[in-house]
Structure 1
Amino acid sequence: MILAVLGAGAWLLREQLMIALMATRIAPQHDFDPALAPAPPDYRSDSAWAALPEKDDPADDQPGSHPDSGAPRPVGVFFVHPTSYFGRDNWNQPLADASANWITDNRVLRHQASVFNACCEVFAPRYRQATFFSYLDDAGNGERALDLAYTDVAAAFEAFLARNGDRPFILAGHSQGSQHGARLLRERIAGSPAQSRMVAAYLVGFALDRQDMGGLPVCATATATGCVIGWNTVQGESAGLNGAGRDLVCVNPLSWRADGAHAPNARNSGGIGFASYTQPAEGEDVTAMAIEPQVADAQCRAGNLVVRELRSDNFPSRMPGNSMHVYDYSLYYLNVRANAVARVDAFLSGS
């Protein structure tokens, strides 16, 4: 018992040291100052969007052996990308930052947002996202950077509603994008006319508390609509990025239920791995989308989605807490893709 406690303490210390070392390398060199913020985007311009239905972009990509199920339905998806800016020159991303946009386009649009192109037309704004260090900062700068990022997301959402018209829509995001999406739920969607048109919200990779969803329910079945879906993936019995035991939303992407039942690898239609989130591996074809069936199981436990049996070496990146954060979508790619179609069809049929 003593050895177990000592082992857990050593693991925690190692995680804390890793975070501290990371922080010294990416901390901005000045306090947040709105006067130093990059110029805001103009969402009337197509150039302010990473993905649009009329643009040729990586959100249009799909696994070659798994074509979509016909033309997209008359539904838009508003997808808010996760943190891809690790710069220290500013608390918020300049929109033309090449490194951040490479990650957004090649890792996020291709491996996350593209899951929705079978059901929907994909809209994904570029925005002045808060730099990664914002989540490590405890001096208030990160919170202010996140608030500024949200002003862009809120403006983009209004532009999306104008472009999408009165059609139904899906709200989706990952990580920082899901944080902003949850705020949209509370401040812009819940209780508004838009709520009746929302098929569902896929707010993945964020510590989403059930009390912070604007009163909307967690999705209880694979075809429930007007509800919220989320999960945070960890390998083994680990705490992940968000800790364990909190009342966080966890909908199992292999069963589409918010219970603790285990879903085996056999239910995983296929995932798509990649070596590194921030840059291509040597010799990598970043456009390749190789499907690996039955790659991972899934079980909701203590607010996390636990993977016990990973059958591939193509998902190597980990964050503190043995988090598989960057693979939240891609581990279950085909399941999420099929579910988005099923949920949209249920919404359109009124069932």
Structure 2
Amino acid sequence: MPFVWLIKMLPRLFRISFPISIKKRPFIIAAHSQGAGHCTRLLKENLDASSARDRFIAAYLIGAGICEKRYNLEVKNIPIANSAEQTGCLIAFDTVGPDFNAASLRRGREWDGENFVPREADGKIIGFNPVTGDKTASTMQAHMGPAYPRYDNEEALAQAYNLRSDDALEFEFLGFEMPTDEKIGARLDAKSGYLVVDRPKRKLLEFPPDAYHLYDYTLFFRDLEKDVGARIEEISTQNLTVGRSVKSSQKFISSPYFQLGLNRIWGVGWIDEPENRMFFFEVSEPTYIFISFL
């Protein structure tokens, strides 16, 4: 199944699968990089004017460099997150190091939902600090910590972006390592919107230089766990659940489906089988949808 076909069919697949999967339960959309770019189309074309927004917890569309101005013009009913308890909102950020060059990132282009187009001169991207749950800066002490995925072939991982698109990555996911001494401060760059972090102790693969695109989820794993939990609990208190009650975030974040999804969308490579390029996962209370294009 050609990748371009999947892109063109995405809205239709979503319309068909979404009503079947949701079953009137709250849901979260999570994706990364290119998948997050495609998911902005879903928000605009399928969810923005849908009654399903009443059950929509949040969209974590991370690592896509989403233009704030364009998003606000095109999506009217799904606001950008500005507090930790907000629901029905978009969470988006792109992680960079202290010496990042905004002009060189993404080669001055952005994803408009269908193509890469020249970034506007004032094209500030959507920013969010997962440590604070809003746009304020955070200290090292406030950072809850990362979760680094482990693999049985680190050399293959390091060469991930030297492969052709039809190559398979030959390494096995072994779980997560959660160091307790890896703490970083984070702040949003006022001009560009990028999430600027202290340089981590661990040497990380930069893609592009001084950008931690491959670690957007990884660096803030525990903070995102807390963020997801707060939003799930908030929608539960609003009595917007139908049928089964919403449980804690631990089920969400520790779910093998979520871990598999993040393992695949963390930028560690791609899986060549077409069915593994997009995920519609259903787990109990609530339903979680992961959409990933790698």
TM-score by length of 2: 0.62
* Partner of residue 133, structure 2: 256
Q: Distance in 2 between matches of 1:235 and 1:349?
A: 38
Aligned with 2:156: secondary structure?
coil
1:274-305 CA deviation, whole Å, 9 max, x = no partner? 58899357xx8731311123432211102111
Q: Distance in 1 between matches of 2:58 and 2:88?
A: 5
Q: Is the 8 A contact 1:280 1:286 kept in 2?
A: no
Q: Distance in 2 between matches of 1:153 and 1:278?
A: 37
Aligned with 1:289: secondary structure?
strand
* Partner of residue 175, structure 2: 288
1:121-152 CA deviation, whole Å, 9 max, x = no partner? xxxxxxx4xxxxxxxxxxxxxxxx3x742523
Tell me: CA distance 1:278–1:337, structure 2 relative to 1, closer, same or farther (3 Å): farther
The one-letter amino acid of 2:138's match is A
Aligned with 1:342: secondary structure?
helix
Q: Is the 8 A contact 2:144 2:222 kept in 1?
A: yes
1:286-325 CA deviation, whole Å, 9 max, x = no partner? 3131112343221110211111241223xx2111242110
Match status 1:303 vs 2:193: yes
Match status 1:279 vs 2:156: yes
Q: Is the 8 A contact 1:204 1:229 kept in 2?
A: yes
* Partner of residue 141, structure 2: 266
Q: CA deviation at 1:245?
A: 5.9
Q: Among all aligned residue pairs of Structure 1 and Structure 2, give the percentage whose two residues are the same amino acid.
A: 26
Two-structure CA RMSD over aligned residues (Å): 2.8
Match status 1:203 vs 2:61: yes
* Partner of residue 180, structure 1: 38
Q: Which structure has the greater CA radius of gyration?
A: 1
Q: Is the 8 A contact 1:265 1:309 kept in 2?
A: no
Tell me: CA distance 1:296–1:150, structure 2 relative to 1, closer, same or farther (3 Å): farther
1:73-115 CA deviation, whole Å, 9 max, x = no partner? xxxxxxxxxxxxxxxxxxx4xxxxxxxxxxxxxxxxxxxxxxx
Tell me: CA distance 1:223–1:206, structure 2 relative to 1, closer, same or farther (3 Å): same
Runs of 4+ in 1 over 3 A off after TM superposition: 242-245, 274-281
* Partner of residue 73, structure 1: none
Tell me: CA distance 1:285–1:303, structure 2 relative to 1, closer, same or farther (3 Å): same
Aligned with 2:211: secondary structure?
coil
Aligned length: 204
2:48 to 190, 193, 197: 190
* Partner of residue 97, structure 1: none
TM-score by length of 1: 0.53
* Partner of residue 28, structure 2: 170
The one-letter amino acid of 1:236's match is P
Aligned with 1:224: secondary structure?
coil
Q: Distance in 2 between matches of 1:156 and 1:339?
A: 25
Where relative contact order (Cα < 8 A, 6+ residues apart) is larger, the structure is: 2
* Partner of residue 237, structure 1: 99
Q: Is the 8 A contact 2:92 2:127 kept in 1?
A: yes
Aligned with 2:54: secondary structure?
helix
Q: Is the 8 A contact 1:297 1:310 kept in 2?
A: no
Q: Distance in 1 between matches of 2:175 and 2:65?
A: 30
